[in-house]
Amino acid sequence: MQKIGIFGGTFDPIHYGHLELARCMRDQLQLAEVRLIPTGLPPHRAMPPVSPQQRFDWVKVAITGEAGLIADDREVCRKGYCYTVDTLTELQQDTPNALLVWLIGADSWLNLNRWHRWRELLDIGHLLIAARPDYAFEGLSPDLSEEFANRSVIANTDTLSRGKISLLSSPLMPVSSTLVREMLARGEDVSALTPVWRQLESSGLYRF
Q: List contacts with ligand ATP (CB under 6 A).
A: 9-12, 17-18, 21, 104-105, 107-108, 130, 132, 173, 175-178
On whether the CB atoms of residues 104 and 112 are closer than 8 A, the answer is yes
Q: How far is the CB of 12 from ligand ATP (least distance, A)?
A: 5
Of the candidates 38, 43, 21, the residue with the CA atom closest to the CA atom of residue 128: 21
Q: Given the complex with ligand ATP, which of 6 and 93 has the nearer CB atom?
A: 6
Report, in Å, the least distance between residue 153 CB and ligand ATP.
20
Under 8 Å CB-to-CB from 44, ≥6 apart: which residues?
A: 111, 114, 115
- Residue 145: count of CB within 10 angstroms of its CB: 11
Helices (H), the chain: 16-28, 52-62, 74-77, 84-94, 106-110, 118-124, 142-151, 177-185, 197-203
Nearer to ligand ATP, 122 or 175 (CB): 175
Exposure of 204 in the CB half-sphere (CA atoms within 13 A) = 0
Q: Give the CB-nearest residue to ligand ATP.
A: 105
Smaller CB separation from ligand ATP, 121 or 130 = 130
- Work out how close the CB of 97 gets to ligand ATP at its nearest, in angstroms, rounded to a whole number: 26
Shortest gap between Cβ of 3 and ligand ATP (angstroms)? 19
Measuring CA to CA, how many Å separate 92 from each of 87, 103, 144?
9, 15, 24
Q: Which is nearer to ligand ATP, 71 or 130 (CB)?
A: 130
> Looking at beta carbons only, is 132 or 164 nearer to ligand ATP?
132
Q: Least distance (Å) from ligand ATP to the CB of residue 164?
A: 18
